[in-house]
Amino acid sequence: NKWFDSLSAISVGLNLSLRKAFNDARFVPIITSRYCLVTNLETQQMV
């Protein structure tokens, strides 16, 4: 069934994108906190 195949392909794509978005959302706080740490260190050195 072509319709069912396209539906399953769409669901698989949604699953992958949702998983990637979840991983990105988990990594964003880590990246931002590390970036803030680096910028804070740089500003402290500038003063």
What DSSP assignment string belongs to 14-38? Answer: HHHHHHHHHHHHHHHHHHHHHHHHH
Distance (Å, whole) CA 31 – CA 47: 24
pLDDT of residue 12: 92
Q: State residue 35's pLDDT score.
A: 85
Domain count, the chain: 1
Residue 47 is predicted with a pLDDT of: 60
What is the model's pLDDT at position 31? Answer: 81
In the predicted model, residues of the chain with pLDDT beneath 70 are 46-47
